[in-house]
Amino acid sequence: MNAAVATDHPLEALERALDAERRALLENDVDALLASTADKLSALRRAESAQPGVIAAERLEALRLQNQANGVLLSRRRREVGWALRHIGRVESTGVYDSRGQPGARSQARCLGVG
């Protein structure tokens, strides 16, 4: 976390972190994405602990929309990576666990009704 993030208003730090996150996503810069995520989380913790009335609802809504737009961009990048992995013969991790709790189990189709 840089020193400016720790000393300025939480929403200014959050806005800077969201801007850095967007740049990192557009430039496919993983290191910058990780750094901006850390800065974003730090700014959010500071904003959560701010005194009531310090944070304007309109500004918070604008930052929420900016974060949502970054989330859309992140989802797009994830789909692109998944597509590329499939086309080079690799498979994305499924996020499914087997009966022993080990990752990588394949999900199975199940009949949910009687025809």
- List the chain residues with pLDDT less than 50: 3-5
What pLDDT score does 48 carry? 85
Distance CA 25, CA 22 (A): 5
DSSP alpha helices (H): ranges in the chain?
A: 3-7, 10-27, 30-48, 57-87
What pLDDT score does 85 carry? 86
What pLDDT score does 104 carry? 62
What pLDDT score does 5 carry? 45
Rounded to two decimals, what is the model's pTM?
Answer: 0.68
Buried b (16+ CB within 10 A) or exposed e, 6-24: eeeebbebbbbbbebbbeb
Averaged pLDDT score across all residues of the chain: 81
- Cβ–Cβ < 8 Å for 18, 40: yes
